[in-house]
Structure 1
């Protein structure tokens, strides 16, 4: 009996699977915390140079005497918006106002929105502003390392051990970040956090999915994203209540330590145990599931064909052997790269938008939740191709339109840019969810695992680049500093969305199993050549890869 047949007999999403699935999804909340925390603790508050030698200097005026000292010490400059303000980077060379200035070495910060941020604590301002993008990029680089090495470790020592090892380092690094002594230590700890967060999300995703029946995997693969969204809503509320970055970091990092207690409730993957020849342990788990689900199992449930260990294999580079396969594979890789870059870039870009950062963050989370709900409703109705292309085009066009309120409007039209950015987030979130299912169905069975792994690598490279795009306005300045990142995200989204039209639809089609199947897949609509078959026959595991949001979403 094939393993998917066993799951169908058990009940594809019975009480036992639901219990394990929910437990496996809970860590996505903590991963969401750490992934989007930079929106708050890497924010750059309004600041100016501190008055040299004035111990009690503050950004807020302390009265006329304080204002006189500040004005004699700090020159006034025009910022990118043409507004005059006290210099962020220069002080006069002497205590009397003159023309000669020098770079300052200490700063004072506006504490209206944030009591403290990491960038303010480490004085990452002026010429050091690029450290913000670098810090985020290095974290996504950690996600890439984690995806590669922890994915291999998961196959070697098991899902459960890798899962809890990742949780341990995820919690340890998250807590340690709050006590980072300097920017170098802060970035190093965030790299470790990126590695471990990927391991947490990836293995939890796999543990949950490997006990879910074939027809429920699309649903389960998207529902975990709702746990991610729950984490973002909690983060927004805590960030609003705790304005000190270290307090916020600890508040979202200490409670997840309790996840280690799930060791006694989450079993090893029965599918992995079977692949390692540990049939007795796998059978014990399956029979426990049957007992909870109220299902009777035959005396013998496993045989040599259960996992198709003798199924012929192929290499992912065989997807480059013909023009059709080459174009199709490159289009898939480009879409993974773009959707990851845009999703994470728009998430980080919230801190650059006008208006209240907490409100903007919450609205973005609402849009993401709506996107996943729409995917659940529409994915099996409209098809993968139309929905993915439509999501990319919606998000891309919305981002491109931000150039008009910037070029032809004024500060009173800033809400238009924010609104368009939120629509862009909706499109990017939906596209990220769809591309998992779509590409898993396009790769033939014999290269599906390696094809999804290669796609995930491109997604993580997109994540590494996204912070620099999000901070383009900060690094370049000028009139388009707010819209420039959105214009870039919009242009690549539209381009990738149009390219996705080259891909064939997969809904209600018998999916390719071999390289030869993939060569002709999509060339005919004949029901005699392609027909709706059971998902068991395709041996597809639509949830075999992780999103994560480094993703991919880790």
Structure 2
């Protein structure tokens, strides 16, 4: 028997697999969801203005009428078109004649070096502590982007390590790195150290999520992989909801980071609990160890396996091809570029909308909570519709729904103002729902489009494109803050919406994969979707979902 035949006899998603899936995928998925977007709270920049000169106990909040009059004298008014800001953030007035100070006195603007901050949303953030404002405001976007660079490095480096030394060892090393870096981040003394640790957090988080995901999925039978692949996204969303609650309760970046990092210590127990992946053991010729794990699983699942599990050719190496083979024909080149673009846009939009919460107006924490909650119906719809509508319809609909919703915010922002702020937020959340659903669909869709001989390479390259989207997301999300005003609030949403609509329309050029025999060779990939290929596949149709690998997740 081959490995999938064994899993069918074992029980495609029996008690043993469910336990491993919960421990290796679901629980770490919650923490990974937290760390991927926690920068919203760590690097949040509260409303601020220059500190009043020669005033020791100045605060952002108005203390008295005398305090208000001093602010009016020293702090310039902001652009009247920007109803979100009450004071100039970076300048204050310097008077020529200090013996007589009045609004009519001769004065000029200067940049300040000290600020006071509002505590309405955050009591403390890292950005506030080291004054990442005005000329240094770009550093918040840079720090967020470098985190995603860490995710990219972790996906590449730890993916290779996982294939070399095993899933279990790689997972445990990633857990230790994640635990140490996330806890250590709370004591980061400076911006360079903070950024360096965040890069490590990104790499470790990528390793934990993807390696755990592989361990869980490699023990799930072919008929249950689609279900298990979407369900893991639900626990990622649980992390977002948990983060919203903890951040609302604490409102201090140090305690938010520490309280959500310390529980990861429990993941160290994985070394004692989790087995090595039997698939990986087989690939290394360690057949006895693989069989021991499978028979233990059979005992837990209360099933009996045959005395001889593996065929003599179980170690036969499958045919392989290189990534460049995807660019050797016009058809594959066109499809591959569309897939790459969709991965990049989906990632940019998903993380960009998560990071753009503070620019929407209204209650910051409610907006962030809703942005996490809307993912649950998105994934439920994917589970219901993927095998009914097909991959192409689901993906295109998700992209167009989210993209058009984001584009429509330009009208509610431009013509509605504060009165229609609730509608702007609603449209942005529909955009988040669409991007979350598209993220769940795209890896199934693209994995089924790539020929078997180059599927892993294709998915790895697609994952790299997604990381590029993640690196761009903070800059797009923060562009609205830098521009300011109503136009600034609309810019990120318009960019996300326009890119999503374009990607969704391009995906219509891809063939449907539902109920199609998966392409095996490069020639199959070229012919896939044609009447001739369908005729051929009807003769030997085998509907089997591909086994997701490390490149087929949000991380």
Query: For the superposition of Structure 1 and Structure 2, which TM-score range results when normalised by the shorter chain?
Result: over 0.9
SS at 1:56's partner residue? coil
Q: CA deviation at 1:525?
A: 7.1
* CA positional deviation for 1:390: 0.6
Q: 2:520 matched to 1:491?
A: no
The change in CA–CA distance for 1:296 and 1:85 in structure 2 (over 3 A counts) is closer
Show the counterpart of 1:529. 536
Matched, 1:20 2:42: no
Match status 1:158 vs 2:163? no
Q: Is the 8 A contact 2:171 2:211 kept in 1?
A: yes
C-alpha distance 81-398 of structure 1, shift in aligned 2 (>3 A): same
Q: Residues 3-27 of structure 1: CA distance to partner in whole angstroms, max 9, x if unpaired?
A: 1111111000011001101101210
CA distance in 2, matches of 1:229, 1:469: 22
Structure 2 partner of 1:544: 549
In structure 1, the gaps of 5 or more residues are: none
Aligned-pair CA distance for 1:533: 2.9
Deviation of 1:477 (Å): 2.7
Q: Do residues 8 (structure 1) and 16 (structure 2) align?
A: no
Tell me the residue number matched to 1:214. 222
**TM-score, normalization by structure 1:** 0.95
2:428 is aligned to 421
Q: Distance in 1 between matches of 2:490 and 2:93?
A: 34
CA 1:547–1:102: 2 relative to 1, 3 Å? farther
Native 8 Å contact 2:403 2:500 kept in 1: yes
The alpha carbon displacement at 1:79 in A equals 5.8
Structure 2 CA distance for partners of 1:547 and 1:183, relative to 1, 3 Å: farther
Paired positions, count: 546
Report the CA distance shift for 1:321/1:173 in structure 2 as closer, same or farther (over 3 A): same
Residue aligning to 1:246: 254
Provide the TM-score with structure 2 as the length reference: 0.95
Match in the other structure for 1:199: 207
Q: Which residue of 1 aligns with 2:125?
A: 117
- Residues in 1 aligned to 2:200 and 2:53: alpha-carbon distance in whole angstroms: 38
After TM superposition, the runs of 4+ consecutive aligned structure 1 residues lying more than 6 A away are none
Contact 1:417/1:483 (CA < 8 Å) preserved in 2?
Answer: no
Q: Which residue number in structure 1 is paired with residue 244 of structure 2?
A: 236
- Note the alpha carbon deviations across 1:459-480, whole angstroms, 9 max, x for none: 1111111111111111223431
Correspondences of 1:77-476 after superposition (within 5 Å): 77-78=78-79, 81=82, 85-94=86-95, 96-97=101-102, 98-306=106-314, 309-476=316-483
CA deviations over 1:309-330 (Å, ceiling 9, x no partner): 3322111211111111111111
Judge conservation of contact 1:214–1:535 (CA < 8 Å) in 2: no
Q: CA deviation at 1:75?
A: 3.0
Q: In structure 2, how many angstroms separate the alpha carbons of the residues matched to 1:67 and 1:31? A: 45
Decide whether the 8 Å contact of 1:312 with 1:446 is kept in 2: yes
3-state SS of 2:78 partner: strand
Q: How far, CA to CA, are the matches of 1:73 and 1:388 in structure 2? A: 54
For the Cα contact (< 8 Å) 1:28–1:201, is it kept in 2?
yes
Residues 40-59 of structure 1 aligned to structure 2 (within 5 Å): 40-59=41-60
Partners of 2:458 and 2:533 in 1: CA distance: 27
- Provide the secondary structure at the position in 2 that maps to 1:102: strand
C-alpha RMSD over aligned residues: 1.6
Label 1:314 to 1:526 Cα distance change in 2 as closer, same or farther (>3 A): closer
CA distance in 2, matches of 1:209, 1:319: 26
Q: CA deviation at 1:547?
A: 4.9
Rounded Cα–Cα distance in structure 2 between residues aligned with 1:481 and 1:453:
35
